[in-house]
Structure 1
Amino acid sequence: MKIRIGYELIYDCPQPTPMILALSVHYTRVADMVVPDHLVADPPVPIAAYRDSFGNWCSRIVAPRGLLKLSTDAVVRDTGLPDAVVAAARQTPVEELPDEALVFLLGSRYCETDRLSETAWQLFGNTPTGWGRVQAICDYVHQHIRFGYEYARSTKSAWETWYERTGVCRDYAHLAIALCRCMNIPARYCTGYLGDIGMPPPYGTMDFAGWFEAYLDGHWYTFDARNNIPRIGRVLIARGRDAADVAISSTFGPNILTRFEVRTDEVVDA
């Protein structure tokens, strides 16, 4: 199947403002791109690209004073299959983990393992290890949090989400990641496109989505505590320790985001 993806962001800057953008589809999906997701700036500005320490493609710009529109319109090929479920995947002992997975066991800006460790072991210490334990964490987070955009705030951490019992998709992911790490399971934050392909209506307002990956049995597997069912059509943009590593824009000066639109739809051939 093919999926059309894109976004339109409009920033209003009172002065020239440097920005770092994480908006490009992840390099692991490059071979799937039918129409590339080139970043278009209006008015045009110089764009410098680089790969960050997590392997994500990022762009550097200096937004001019006034309005700046950033957009893309792309098409990506997808298998059309739902997220994999590998119930037999075992938990890898910490001493056997590859070096590159260890950073995803540690606490981070939004995932306070120190504050949640005792709670995690009380809740999940007797659950089956491996896939079953990660799924038990997802089930708990899915039931524990009440979803609502009115509950979103940029400073909200996993512990605050657990305490307040409300949040948006990134909060579900942060809490699940923190609980996995407390249980010695490496977990990393993911952001990208996730539409409503294969889901019944009504459909909500489209946004960039947040989910996570857990390292089990030598592989990284996708989990989604917000939806808590296998979904079709994820298009990864970036991975990191938490949302701080994969912000769609990091701005170095005052600005207002006046428009935010994300699109992801199945392409239906005539």
Structure 2
Amino acid sequence: MKIRAGYDIAFNCLQDVPMILMLSVHPSRHGDLLSPHAIQTTPGVATRDYLDAFGNVCTRVVAPSGLIEIRNDFVIADSGVPEPAAPFAAQLQLQDLPDDTLVYLLGSRYCDTQKLADLAWSTFGKIEGGGQRVQAICDYVHDRIKFGYQFARGDRTASEGHAERIGVCRDFAHLAVTLCRCMNIPARYCTGYLGDIGVPPDPAPMDFSAWFEAYIGGRWYTFDARHNHPRIGRIVIARGRDAADVAISTAFGQAELVRFNVVTEEVVHDSSVQLAPDIVMAPRAQSRLQRLMA
């Protein structure tokens, strides 16, 4: 199957503001791209890409004073099947874990493992098997937290999300990642596109999504504590220890978000695909922006 994805984001800057953008499809999906994939800006400014320590594509830009519009619109191929489940995947012993997974066992800015270790072991310690243990964690988090955009808070840690029992997709991912790490299962935070493909349309505004990956059975498997069932058409942008590593934009100065729109949809008829630099602002996106700026 084919998926059309992209975004239209705008900031208003009071002066020139250096920014780091993390808006490019992850290198692991570059081979699936079916159309040009490039960040476009209005006014046109110089951009430069680099890979960060986690292998994500980051884009450096200096946003000029005034309005800067940032867009992308592309088509990507996808298998069209739900991501694989891992009910029988084993949990590896610590000494058998690959070196590059060990960083995903450590506490991080939003994943405060030291505050949830006792809870994790008392709740999941008797569950055997890596896949069953991670799924039990997803079930717990899914039932524990109530989702709502009105609950968004940029500085909420995993332990605070557990205590407050409210949040958005990043809070589900942070809590699940933290509980996995407490159980010695490497887990990494992911962000990207997730459209309503193969599921009833979500009336909430389209947005970038957050989920996580756990290292069990000798490989990384995708899990999503918010939706809590395999999905179709997930497109990863970036992976890291937590949301601090994969921020969509980091501004080194005052940059007010004034427009935000994300598109992720299945291409039903190829002839209908019209790639363009402009993505029309939908009512769902307008209401999402109002919540972001409230």
TM-score by length of 2: 0.91
Deviations 1:44-74 (A, max 9, x none): 0000110000000110000000000000000
Q: Secondary structure at the match of 1:153?
A: coil
Q: Secondary structure at the match of 1:111?
A: coil
Matches of 2:153 and 2:18, distance apart in 1: 23
Deviation at residue 128 of structure 1 after TM alignment: 2.0
Q: Secondary structure at the match of 1:34?
A: coil
Which residues in structure 2 correspond to 1:21-170 (within 5 Å)?
A: 21-170=21-170
Q: Does the CA contact (< 8 Å) of 1:196 and 1:203 recur in 2?
A: no
Letter in 2 for 1:254: Q
Deviation at residue 255 of structure 1 after TM alignment: 1.4
Deviation at residue 13 of structure 1 after TM alignment: 0.5
Matches of 1:99 and 1:128, distance apart in 2: 24
The change in CA–CA distance for 1:137 and 1:30 in structure 2 (over 3 A counts) is: same
Deviations 1:163-211 (A, max 9, x none): 0000000000000000000000000000000000011235321000000
The change in CA–CA distance for 1:77 and 1:100 in structure 2 (over 3 A counts) is: same
Q: Secondary structure at the match of 2:188?
A: strand
Q: Does the CA contact (< 8 Å) of 1:6 and 1:37 recur in 2?
A: no
Q: Secondary structure at the match of 2:70?
A: strand
Letter in 2 for 1:114: Q
Deviations 1:184-241 (A, max 9, x none): 0000000000000011235321000000000001100000000000000000100000
Matches of 1:101 and 1:247, distance apart in 2: 21
Matches of 2:73 and 2:202, distance apart in 1: 24
Structure 2 counterpart of 1:250: 250
Matches of 1:37 and 1:148, distance apart in 2: 31
Q: Secondary structure at the match of 1:83?
A: coil
Letter in 2 for 1:205: P
Structure 2 counterpart of 1:3: 3
Unmatched 5+ residue regions in structure 2?
272-294
Q: Secondary structure at the match of 2:247?
A: coil
Letter in 2 for 1:63: A
Structure 1 counterpart of 2:238: 238
Letter in 2 for 1:235: I
Letter in 2 for 1:128: E
Matches of 1:157 and 1:37, distance apart in 2: 34
Q: Does the CA contact (< 8 Å) of 1:17 and 1:62 recur in 2?
A: yes
Which residues in structure 2 correspond to 1:188-227 (within 5 Å)?
A: 188-227=188-227
Matches of 1:67 and 1:212, distance apart in 2: 34
Deviation at residue 29 of structure 1 after TM alignment: 0.5
TM-score by length of 1: 0.99
Matches of 1:149 and 1:203, distance apart in 2: 12
Matches of 1:6 and 1:257, distance apart in 2: 17
Q: Does the CA contact (< 8 Å) of 1:180 and 1:187 recur in 2?
A: yes
Identity across matched positions, percent = 57
Letter in 2 for 1:234: R
Matches of 2:242 and 2:257, distance apart in 1: 22
Structure 2 counterpart of 1:184: 184
Matches of 1:153 and 1:211, distance apart in 2: 17
Matches of 2:86 and 2:255, distance apart in 1: 44
Deviation at residue 88 of structure 1 after TM alignment: 1.3
Matches of 2:39 and 2:157, distance apart in 1: 30
Unmatched 5+ residue regions in structure 1?
none
Letter in 2 for 1:220: W
Q: Does the CA contact (< 8 Å) of 1:207 and 1:262 recur in 2?
A: yes
Q: CA RMSD in A?
A: 0.8
Deviations 1:142-167 (A, max 9, x none): 00000000110111110110000000
Q: Secondary structure at the match of 1:35?
A: coil
Deviation at residue 122 of structure 1 after TM alignment: 1.1
Q: Secondary structure at the match of 1:110?
A: coil
1:259 aligns to 2:259 (yes or no):
yes
Letter in 1 for 2:252: F
